[in-house]
Structure 1
Amino acid sequence: MVDAVVSVFLERLLNTLVEEGRIVNEFRDQFENLQKELELMQNVLKVADKRKRKEPTLHVIMGNLRELIYEAEDILADCQLESRDDSFSNGWLCCIYPPKLQFQYKTGKRLREINENITKIKQDLSYLGLSTCNGMARIDVHNDPRWSSPVYDHTQVVGLEGDTKKMKDWLFEADHGILSIGVVGMGGLGKTTIAQKVFNDREMEDHFERRMWVSVSQTLDEAQIMRSMLRNLGDASVGDDKGELLKKINQYLLGKRFLIVMDDVWSSDVNWWRGIFEGLPKGNGSCIIITTRIKEVAIMMGVSEARIHRPKFLSEDDGWLLFRKIAFAASGGDCRYPELEQVGKEIVSKCKGLPLAIKAIGGLLLYKSHYNEWRRIAKNFRDELAENDDSVMASLQLSYDELPTHLKSCFLSFSLYPEDCVIAKEQLVHWWIGEGFVPVRNGRSAIEAGEGCFSGLTNRCLVEVVDKTYNGIIYTCKIHDMVRDLVIKMAEDDAFFRLNGIGCRHLGIDSNMDHKKLAANRKLRALLSTTKTGEVNKIVSSVANKFNECRYLRVLDLCKSIFEVPLTVLLHKIGCLQHLTCLSLSNTHPLIQLPPSLERLNNLQVLDVSYCQNLKMLPPYLMTFKKLRVLDVSHCGSLEYLPKGLGRLSNLEVLLGFRPARTNQLDGCRIAELRNLTRLRTLGLHLTRSDEIEDNEVNALVNLQELQLLTISCFDSHGIDLIDKLDRLYPPPSLHELSLKYFPGKMSPVWLNPFSLPMLRYLSISSGNLAKIHQSFWGENNTVWKIEALLLESLSELEMDWQVVQQMMPSLRIVNASWCPDLASFPVEDIGFRGAIWTKEEH
């Protein structure tokens, strides 16, 4: 992990030295010496990081090095702040004013000490056989475009046909009482995968009127489990006690045939379950599926011996098939090199038929293309197995060791989240950008690089996909409990995160957080809300009052939180955290305005105030935040417009919830200012009235050549004049994805055609008045769309014929249609009532 810390620091240092701030320049020699030493050391740090797990002395040395680098980065950040403080920038006073002299003296002295200590560490590493004298710094940044997005379908499973058929047969046989089924086996065998396969089966959807999936953590809480059951039924029920919760569950299920999955149960004390089970209505052929590693747990939860399913290890052929689907995903699962097949089969045999081990090692080898690399991985895998006979943990450890340095930091981020937590990809990517984990190379945008890091972890099968959009884009994820065991161990070793909250630089915020953790960690880099889906943070005053003491915070995410202390008081204190690069106040209550004190946060790259329904206005000072990359004001119902000057935010890549000012709103930002945001990749527009777009502003979007995703929402729009303006608001020809929501016109826009949008891959149209498709949509002169995924939802009057769609969209792979009764000949049943998804692979 020291390798990753050094990489992040060097990235920041190089950028700063190029900028040559005034104060930074005072210490340029010290920083450059530090840079040279660290670049020479980089080529051995990965080896040292691996060896330190077995050598206590090396573990101490690397820990000391890590702390020195963190301190040097904090000094660098302080220097940057000082260089921007232009209170005395006029004339020679800036060189002699006493506070600056004191800062320069202390900083220079400490930088020299850090350099001396790192020279000593370099000698210690050499003494331990880790010479840093020869070799260039290792280049360890993967920007191969082939791996910047998921390359295979994570929902694919192998060898489970017999398991799912057996369990479905049992489920169909249920009649009186409640049938309990157990799936029992060791970790990594695929118990949860089998249960998911059955749970999501179309026949099961039809057979059961209610379905609930509950992840039972090792620190289970009976009330939380019942709340999770109710969330599956669409009921939040935050404040009810256990008796009221159970009564509600009974009412929802009474007279219904239901299926409940209790996933990953550990505790042999099942009194919690007896109480819930007794409160469930009986009969109607309802069923319970319990997955656990411990047979006795399943028996105590009411599963008979005859209804325990024990998944088998994958056969040699199935294991090799699963491995091929992942390791050779770029070639469709085909191994085209006999020499790699021999090594691959040797590796698969050592995974002992455990799917999680096979997936982890396959994901690792996806990034290795040469025979010598495969042989090296095979040898390292044997070495890991010699020390730890658990093939799953050995494969996971090897996957971690082989991660590029920047992905190690990203992977360790998952240690903050509680067991079975569903995590938003957006929160992770914003965090990684804010803390500098994401290396930006070759002109890539920060968001694109962050998405690439996420794909790097999912492609290696270290992160599991939970939810995708209609076009396959992942937006929530989780990690397997065995992966979590590894990531917590690695995070503890490297002081990234510790369960006791002491001596680390990253912490998760939840309702049980102790303020002592903040008092003991004043050098924290990140504080993030890590609540589970449907839960809300209750942040007590003693915790909130400590935030401002963590002066080196880069990332502060308070989403889905309520506070004892008034929010305005808390935000005023946050204004002193001038190193903040990422601030999320999404879904906090009741955020009405941002105070003047936040004007000092001019290092911000990400600001998220989405879902703050009471937010009435944004302060004009936000338009001076030149480093801002992401501004999210979506779903802020009380926000009328953004301040004038938005066009000055030239680094903006994501802008969501943009509401243009109307003609009479003189302090507001007009849509014309978007012309200046040439780096914009994602734009969400909310348009309601025609005077939000003047005749000379209809070309505001057409030249945004970097724009990839455009969402236009006209919810609660007024007047037919807006339709004419929308018809002339041409998107850029390079657009990849378009989403139209609540479109007010009966006819689709004239620019929605394959000539104007030749690069469009994904199209989503939902709600609104759309009834007819403009003739231009169907092209001419044999021109066809390149659209791969199409979503049509809640369009009660839309007429469209499948045969014509298929002819005009030959690349179409996915159609998601629901509540569109006038669609003709689409290859789904009951399209107007239940909705369906069609994929080319299935038909």
Structure 2
Amino acid sequence: MADAVVTVFLEKLLKTLAEEGRYVTEFRDLFEKLQTELQLMQCFLMDSDRLKRKNQSIRKILADLRELIYESEDILADCQLQSRDGNQFSQGWLACFSPTKLHFKYQSGKRLKEIIEKITSIKQNISSLLGGPLLFQPEVTNAQEQIPRWSSQVYDHTQVVGLEADTQKIKDWIFEAAREGSQDILAIGVVGMGGLGKTTIAQKVFNEREIERHFDRRVWVSVSQTFTEEQIMRSMLNTLGEASAKDDANELLKKINQYLLGKRYLIVMDDVWSEDVVWWQRICQGLPKGNGSCIIITTRIEKVSRKMGVKEVRIHRPKFLNEDYSWLLFRKIAFAASDGNCIYPDLEDVGKEIVEKCKGLPLAIKAVGGMMLCKTPYYREWRRIANHFRDELIENDNSVMASLQLSYDELPSYLKSCFLSFSLYPEDCVITKEQLVHCWIGEGFVPLRSGRSSTDAGEDCFSGLTNRCLVEVVDKNYHGTISTCKMHDMVRDLVLKIAEEDAFYTQKSLNCRHVGISNNMDKGQLSENQKLRGLVSTTKTSEVNKIESSIAKKFSECRYLRVLDVSKSIFELPLSSLLYYIGSLQHLTYLSLSNTHPLIELPASLEKLSNLQILDVSYCQNLKILPHYLITFKKLKVLNVSHCGSLQCLPKGLGRLSNLEVLLGFRPARSDHGCRLGELRNLTQLRTLGLLLTHGDEVGDSEVNAMVNLQDLENLFISCFDSHGSDLTSKLDKLCPPQQLHELSLQFYPGKISPIWLNPIALPLLKYLSISFGNLANMHQNFRGDNSIVWKIEGLMLEALSDLELHWGMLQQVMPTLKIVNVSWCPELVSFPIEDAGFRGGVWTKEERRT
């Protein structure tokens, strides 16, 4: 990962030199010399991951280089702080000669010179190992590093190829058992090697519409290699109902039985490893019998399925994909932009050569297909990949691991850092895209090019990994955008291996630079590690992270911590005590305290965090006030205060945060003592805005057009939950959202008729519309547009609108580009189709709309 570390550092160095900070300028010659030395090595470093696996000497050299780069980055960060302190607090030019400043200048300059000498020596050692000098080739580097081929999701991950017969076989077994009326629980095993598609088959069965209708309850459990019986049962109850943190194993099993009693249920135990199945025998004995219920077990070990009660006649062993299916799956991914059609005749033969090396394993085919999707469609480039794949297979005969390693080697350097961040999370952990993107921005992994916002660029990085099929999709929102994800255990094995080699994260070393907070973490990684850059909550839904007081206070000693995410954590000391010391973390760029209910107010020490770019205090129900110093965080790009029920308003002057790109949970003040809606006019960089409106006086007559000139605003979410007074509806009717709005969500809208501005003339670029809850009964006549102007909406969600009368025919007429429809609990809709091949999502007839 040396190329990733160097690239991130050079990105920061170039940006900082351009800003002309005083202390940075004083070291300009040294930093520029360091920049030149690193640029000379960049072309070599792009291939370093492959070379270091073959050469122990190169591996040691790159490890030394990585440490020097991290130290250089720390010096650069300190220079920025010193420059800012000097500008803000110095009393004239004499302040430059204070003992602390002089000491800093002397020590930093001396160390920079030493680092440059060592890096120069490293460059010479690399040259001698490679048998020639390193040459600087900026055009080659920049062309591939700066511009991703696809910056949005291209491949539809729901597609399944070649497994139709497998899923049909299992469905036949299920329906056959139901017809026979067996009083036993049907046990089905899906057994095979890693990467063969066992989980995909089980998911396909689990999500089939006829299976959904057949069973009253469906439960999916991902069984990690380090699971406990209690974790399994809590995972089941997350789907079925609630469990108390105090419940023991017997109480948990009793609740599971109560939720399933009298129901026909399907339970999937995915990826079971342990041959000791006593835990399963206890759970199984507590499950209600009869009613045609079914258990599906996926495992790599046949003995496991037998011990879990699967009979030979109900074991399904998926086969490798044949040549035709392998090529079809590869085409659907590699040529997703052309609907899976290979439109480049010269690439077909080399493409089939690559596919042949995957040996019919779906995971390997997806990995190489995703990699080729992101490559330019040139024969020379595809031939290079095919040759590298051949070399990998010589060293590693496992075609899945070889394809994954190749996919990692071919990642742009900035994506390698993003990819390794998955090493912090436990096996089978479901991760939100938001947390990942925020961590990447906070660490500086996200490259900024052509004026692109950091949040948009972070989304591009996420798409870069999903398009390469290195990340599995767990949940999508109503219009198909990925919201949560996880990692296949074989991909995670590779991530852990590389992360340990590069000291990014390891469970053993006390000197790694990133740690995931979990209940089984090595406490020494916090109490003894001064190199930390990122500390991230990795709480699973069925667990909580407990932070001991003796460990928590050590956070403040990690001077170069960039990312601190303690969301969903339980503290054994008051949270205010932990945050009391947080002001010493002056390099912190991302702070998440989300879902920490002890939080009542932010401490005064937080005011020192002038580098903060992302602050997330969402779901802090007891948070009552945000401090006024918040308006001094000039670098703040993301502020999330959504679902903070006790928070009345935000501080006056918030409009000064001109770099804000995302503002969620904004509740305008009802008086001049807080931030009014009119201050939004100054937030010209906003991409996403979440408004909470409950009273008419939150919107002044002169403020209704506060959003109209926010030309970058694409996503607007308006919630009127717990609204009061009829005057709010008239104020909402006068709002003026910007014309370029891309997505709109209305929740708990208090009016009976939709707003006047909800029409295709006022919102000509709107692609996604969601309306949920509230009193809406009819759409305003403007909603239809006119003969020449209709909606460009592609995704529509209508939810829990019990009074809404809407006819399907009219909707089709005014929304001719509609592709995705999701409707639930809308009993007055007329003629909506039950299933239409042209639509994805839930679409029901009037009779079924209450399910």
| C-alpha distance in structure 2 between counterparts of 1:152 and 1:77, whole Å | 39
Amino acid at match of 1:280: L
RMSD of the TM alignment (CA)?
1.4
1:287 maps to 294
Q: CA deviation at 1:339?
A: 1.2
Amino acid at match of 1:717: S
| C-alpha distance in structure 2 between counterparts of 1:134 and 1:551, whole Å | 36
| C-alpha distance in structure 1 between counterparts of 2:844 and 2:534, whole Å | 49
Deviations 1:395-446 (A, max 9, x none): 0000000000000000001011100000000000000000000001011100
2:839 maps to none
Amino acid at match of 1:796: S
SS in 2 for 1:644: coil
Q: CA deviation at 1:141?
A: 5.3
The 8 Å contact of residues 710 and 735 in structure 1, kept in 2 or not, is answered as yes
| C-alpha distance in structure 1 between counterparts of 2:46 and 2:626, whole Å | 45
1:819 maps to 825
The 8 Å contact of residues 434 and 606 in structure 1, kept in 2 or not, is answered as yes
SS in 1 for 2:187: strand
Q: CA deviation at 1:782?
A: 2.5
SS in 2 for 1:816: strand
- Summarize the Cα distance change of 1:130–1:178 in structure 2 as closer, same or farther, 3 Å threshold: farther
Amino acid at match of 1:412: L
- Summarize the Cα distance change of 1:398–1:130 in structure 2 as closer, same or farther, 3 Å threshold: farther
1:357 maps to 364
| C-alpha distance in structure 2 between counterparts of 1:52 and 1:781, whole Å | 65
| C-alpha distance in structure 2 between counterparts of 1:105 and 1:358, whole Å | 55
Question: Is 2:255 the partner of 1:255?
Answer: no
| C-alpha distance in structure 2 between counterparts of 1:2 and 1:743, whole Å | 52
SS in 2 for 1:575: helix
| C-alpha distance in structure 2 between counterparts of 1:391 and 1:145, whole Å | 26
User: Which of 564, 581, 592 pairs up with 1:584?
Assistant: 592
- Summarize the Cα distance change of 1:130–1:497 in structure 2 as closer, same or farther, 3 Å threshold: farther
1:14 maps to 14
1:32 maps to 32
The 8 Å contact of residues 17 and 28 in structure 1, kept in 2 or not, is answered as yes
Unaligned runs of 5+ in 2: 835-842
Question: Is 2:59 the partner of 1:59?
Answer: yes
SS in 1 for 2:130: coil
2:119 maps to 118
- Summarize the Cα distance change of 1:594–1:565 in structure 2 as closer, same or farther, 3 Å threshold: same
Q: Equivalent residues in 2 for 1:756-767 (5 A)?
A: 756-767=762-773
User: Which of 684, 692, 695 pairs up with 1:689?
Assistant: 695
SS in 1 for 2:532: coil
Amino acid at match of 1:235: E
Q: Equivalent residues in 2 for 1:383-782 (5 A)?
A: 383-663=391-671, 666-782=672-788
User: Which of 794, 797, 802 pairs up with 1:791?
Assistant: 797
Q: CA deviation at 1:143?
A: 5.6
| C-alpha distance in structure 2 between counterparts of 1:760 and 1:724, whole Å | 23
The 8 Å contact of residues 647 and 676 in structure 1, kept in 2 or not, is answered as yes
1:304 maps to 311
1:215 maps to 222
Amino acid at match of 2:304: V
Q: CA deviation at 1:55?
A: 1.2
2:2 maps to 2
| C-alpha distance in structure 2 between counterparts of 1:436 and 1:780, whole Å | 48
Question: Is 2:212 the partner of 1:194?
Answer: no
Amino acid at match of 2:78: D
The 8 Å contact of residues 180 and 304 in structure 1, kept in 2 or not, is answered as yes
1:807 maps to 813
Q: Equivalent residues in 2 for 1:91-102 (5 A)?
A: 91-102=92-103
Q: CA deviation at 1:609?
A: 0.2
The 8 Å contact of residues 227 and 237 in structure 1, kept in 2 or not, is answered as no
Q: CA deviation at 1:835?
A: 4.4
Q: CA deviation at 1:533?
A: 2.1
How many residue pairs end up in the alignment?
Answer: 835
Q: Percent identity?
A: 70
1:840 maps to none
| C-alpha distance in structure 2 between counterparts of 1:143 and 1:58, whole Å | 26
Q: CA deviation at 1:836?
A: 9.4
Q: CA deviation at 1:640?
A: 0.4
SS in 2 for 1:205: helix
Unaligned runs of 5+ in 1: 838-843
2:154 maps to 151
Deviations 1:459-482 (A, max 9, x none): 000001100000011110001000
Deviations 1:383-402 (A, max 9, x none): 11111111100100000000
Deviations 1:237-276 (A, max 9, x none): 3331111111111111111111111000011111111111
Amino acid at match of 1:529: S
SS in 2 for 1:695: coil
Amino acid at match of 1:636: C
1:322 maps to 329
- Summarize the Cα distance change of 1:407–1:835 in structure 2 as closer, same or farther, 3 Å threshold: farther
The 8 Å contact of residues 515 and 542 in structure 1, kept in 2 or not, is answered as no
| C-alpha distance in structure 1 between counterparts of 2:581 and 2:635, whole Å | 22
> Following TM superposition, where does structure 1 have runs of at least 4 consecutive aligned residues deviating by more than 6 angstroms?
none
| C-alpha distance in structure 1 between counterparts of 2:455 and 2:716, whole Å | 15
| C-alpha distance in structure 1 between counterparts of 2:523 and 2:104, whole Å | 30
| C-alpha distance in structure 2 between counterparts of 1:131 and 1:303, whole Å | 62
SS in 1 for 2:702: helix
SS in 1 for 2:580: helix
Amino acid at match of 1:659: R
The range that moved more, 363-372 or 507-516, is 507-516
- Summarize the Cα distance change of 1:144–1:516 in structure 2 as closer, same or farther, 3 Å threshold: closer
| C-alpha distance in structure 2 between counterparts of 1:51 and 1:601, whole Å | 41
- Summarize the Cα distance change of 1:619–1:132 in structure 2 as closer, same or farther, 3 Å threshold: farther
| C-alpha distance in structure 1 between counterparts of 2:431 and 2:509, whole Å | 20
1:167 maps to 170
Amino acid at match of 1:47: D
1:335 maps to 342
The range that moved more, 752-761 or 527-536, is 527-536
The range that moved more, 179-188 or 537-546, is 537-546
| C-alpha distance in structure 2 between counterparts of 1:378 and 1:629, whole Å | 42
The range that moved more, 153-162 or 19-28, is 19-28
Q: CA deviation at 1:131?
A: 4.5
Amino acid at match of 1:560: K
Q: CA deviation at 1:535?
A: 2.3
Q: CA deviation at 1:503?
A: 1.9
Amino acid at match of 1:567: L
Amino acid at match of 1:98: P
Amino acid at match of 2:162: G
